[in-house]
Structure formats: structure tokens, C-alpha cells
Amino acid sequence: MRRAASTAAAATTTRMAAAEEVRQASAAATAAEAASASVPAPAGSRWARAWPSALRWIPTSTDRIIAAEKRLLSVLKTGYVQESVSIGSAPPGSKVRWFGSSSDEPRFINTVTFDSKDNAPTLVMVHGYGASQGFFFRNFDALASRFRVIAIDQLGWGGSSRPDFTCKSTEETEAWFIDSFEEWRKAKNLSNFILLGHSFGGYVAAKYALKHPEHVQHLILVGSAGFSSETDHSSERLTKFRATWKGMLANHLWESNFTPQRIVRGLGPWGPDLVRKYTTARFGSHSTGELLTDHESSLLTDYIYHTLAAKASGELCLKYIFSFGAFAKKPLLQSASDWKVPTTFIYGHDDWMNYEGAQQARENMKVPCEIIRVPQGGHFVFIDNPVGFHSAIFYACRKFLSEGAEEGLALPDGLISA
């Protein structure tokens, strides 16, 4: 009995320690953000101009994001136009306040459009969670040789507007991204375009195509999130992890919307060093494909830091779209039978996103669907193996690039059909 009591006491102590660690972690981040808020520096404000950026706790602003974007895209040979496309202050006729904010000023979507040949098919590119359109910097030159390429920063990310995130449900959160994209499409007067989304951007692109299929010619989902739910793929390993104090801590932080970006902000002027370590590891020592050059790594690190450290907005969608473990709360697999747009899935061979969810979805789709795996590529296959990625894109869009090329064209060497 003494042993049982001792065990119970130890378990209680462990849970209390975990809870205290959660409290301290949240408090530390909140204090850091409060410290940064005590020196407000919105882009273009009189206070921002008067206060030297080097003395700010979080040395970034919208202007610095765009400047970092320009430096990153300076490695390209293709000309482009950057613009802030106004999408108004609220979605017309919508009951969902996905622009909820203390200000009624118009919102905008940061957009880059690349020079292209006349009559080239339009390819719209949507980034994933925690990223921005600049992540495709290794792809723009090659893709712009065949397409009219337009890349955007989703609302609340990158160089786009960052309204206060007021969504409280999965439905409202999906509307935030889908409706803002639709308003952007209207402002750009686009239709009949190829829509590409990566990771969380793939989830948004798929949800958009389900709601507005009349505008999308073809859907390309790259390492797409959201095809499986926790009930579909409940792993024993995840269940066991959740039962540990580390799992309890991680799950609590997830449900508290404690995002990776919050850590970067909390570190203040030391945030860039953390981002540099991540970039060096992910696209260097841990890369599965073509390494970044030192120049590319430096430019990408600077760009990633500024996009992560800016005001929290779209990033706060995480807990409303996914449960802990990145399982979708409204999985796309459940909508597969409603698919109306021909689709190509592209996965890096070593992508941690499981392509088997796409295989299951294909079984229920009533439209053409292909699944292509690219060698020497992980979740960021377009950075790891740009040549293989471009080959997969050109193959997926063969119908739009060459007359009569849809039939009889073999999958390019190196690519794997799943």
C-alpha cells in the first residue's frame, strides 16, 4: 500500500510539474509579447520612424518583410511585379467576420506576378503554414517559362494584411482563408486558372476548389495537409505520448494556440539566430536533396525571420483546423466524392505527410486524379529537388501546355506514380 501511495504521489507530482511548466512557458511568452507591445511600431507610423529598429524587441515590420522578399527574389532572372491587392474590409454578404479588427481599413493580399509569354496558362501558388510565397523562390524562373505565375501571401501571413484573428470555430477559420482568396480572385479578375497549394495551403486550395470549382481548371496539391483525421489514423504511439508529461505539455500548448512563431517573437533580438539554426539544419545538414548555397541560405533566413516575427494573425488558425498531431478536424477525405476539379497530388519521397491519404481519397473521386512522388525531396520538395518538382508540375499540366499531349505521354524519368 505504501508503494501504491508512493506511485500515486509521484504521478501527481509529475502532473503538477507538467502543469507548472506549461504555466511558466505560457507566461514567459506572454511577457515577451507584452514587452514588444510596450514599444508599438506599426509600419509607417510616426512612432516606428522615431524609434530605431535596432532598439525594438522584435526588429521587424511589414516594410521589412517586403524588403526581405525583394532581396530573396533578387536571385531570379525573371522580371516580376509586386502589388498589394485590396480585398476590402469585409466579405460581402458573409455572416462570418473574418476581417474582425479594431480598424475598418481595407485589407490587402501581397501578390507577385511574373513576366510570361502571351496566352500562357495561369498558375496561382499558395504557400503553407508558417511560410510565405517567397518559399517558392527556387521555382519561379522555371515555372514562369511555361506559365503566367502568380504567388500570394495568404491573409494574415507574409507581407499581406494581418487583421486581428477573431475566428472561434473550424467553419469561421476556413471562411477566413477561402473567402479572402475569393475576394482576391475577384480583384485580380481571374478565372480558369491552375491552383497549386502546399501543405496547409493545399488544404485551403482544396477547400476553395470544392466551394468554387468553376474557377479552377486543375488542382495541384503538394504535400497537402488535411486528408486524414485522428479517428482514421489514431496511432498507438501518439496515444502513449499523450499520456506522458511531455505529451500533456505539448497538447496543452497546442490547444492554447502556442505557435512556433510565438517562440521567435519571445526571443526578441535573438530570434534571428534561432531561425538561422533552423534554416541551416533543414535545408543543409538534414536536407534530402539539393543544398542551399550560402547566399540562398542567408537570404531565406532573413526572409523567414521577418515573416515569422511579425504580428500574429493567420497563424492562429492552427488549433481550429487541426487537432494535436496535425490531424484535420474536417478531413478532406470526407469530401472526396464531391470533388469536381481534376487533381494531381505531388509528394516528396521523404515527405512526412502521408500520401496514403491521397490514395484513399482517389478511390472516392469521380474526376481524374494522379499521385506523383518526387525523389530526393521532403516536405519542401520544391526546395529540396526543384528540377524533379518542375518536371512533376509540367507533367501534371501537360494538357494545358501542349496540344494533344495528354494522351500517351510517359511519366518523366525519376518520378514515381503512386
Phi and psi of 22, rounded to 5°?
A: -60, -45
Residue appearing with cell numbers 501518439? 238
Residue appearing with cell numbers 470526407? 334
Q: By the 8 A CB rule, do 219 and 205 touch?
A: yes
Asked whether residue 19 carries a pLDDT value surpassing 80, the answer given is: no
Asked whether residue 405 carries a pLDDT value surpassing 70, the answer given is: no
Q: Where are the alpha helices (DSSP H) in 145-222?
A: 170-188, 200-211
- Tell me, what's the pLDDT at 33? 43
User: The C-alpha cell of 192 is what?
Assistant: 480558369
- Chain centroid offset of residue 244 CA: 29
**Does 329 or 185 have the greater pLDDT score?**
185
User: The C-alpha cell of 367 is what?
Assistant: 474526376
What would the mean pLDDT of 150-171 be, rounded to a whole number? 94
Q: Note the pLDDT tens digit of each residue in 168-184.
A: 999 999 999 999 999 99
The model's confidence at residue 22, banded by pLDDT at 50, 70 and 90, is very low
The model's confidence at residue 17, banded by pLDDT at 50, 70 and 90, is very low
Asked whether residue 414 carries a pLDDT value surpassing 60, the answer given is: yes
Classify residue 79 by burial, with Cβ atoms within 10 Å: 0-12, 13-18, 19+.
exposed
What would the mean pLDDT of 190-215 be, rounded to a whole number? 97
Cα 57 to Cα 35: distance, rounded to the nearest angstrom: 7
- Tell me, what's the pLDDT at 404? 55
The model's confidence at residue 407, banded by pLDDT at 50, 70 and 90, is low
Task: Count the alpha carbons within 13 Å of 154 in the hemisphere toward its beta carbon.
Answer: 31
Q: By the 8 A CB rule, do 88 and 97 touch?
A: no
| Residues 280-313 as b or e (16 or more Cβ within 10 Å = b) | eebbeeebbbbebeeebbebbbbbbbbbbbbbbb
- Tell me, what's the pLDDT at 41? 38
**Does 231 or 288 have the greater pLDDT score?**
288
- Tell me, what's the pLDDT at 262? 92
Asked whether residue 402 carries a pLDDT value surpassing 70, the answer given is: yes
Asked whether residue 159 carries a pLDDT value surpassing 60, the answer given is: yes
Cα 268 to Cα 59: distance, rounded to the nearest angstrom: 8
pLDDT averaged over the chain?
83
Phi and psi of 199, rounded to 5°?
A: 55, -120
For helices 62-73 and 294-309, angle between their N-to-C axes, nearest 10 degrees: 160
> 295: part of which helix (H) or strand (E)?
helix 294-309
Asked whether residue 98 carries a pLDDT value surpassing 80, the answer given is: no
Q: By the 8 A CB rule, do 197 and 174 touch?
A: no
Asked whether residue 188 carries a pLDDT value surpassing 60, the answer given is: yes
- From 383, 399, 404, select the one nearest 343 (Cα to Cα): 399
Total residue length of the chain: 418
Percent of the chain surpassing pLDDT 70: 79
283 DSSP 8-state letter: I
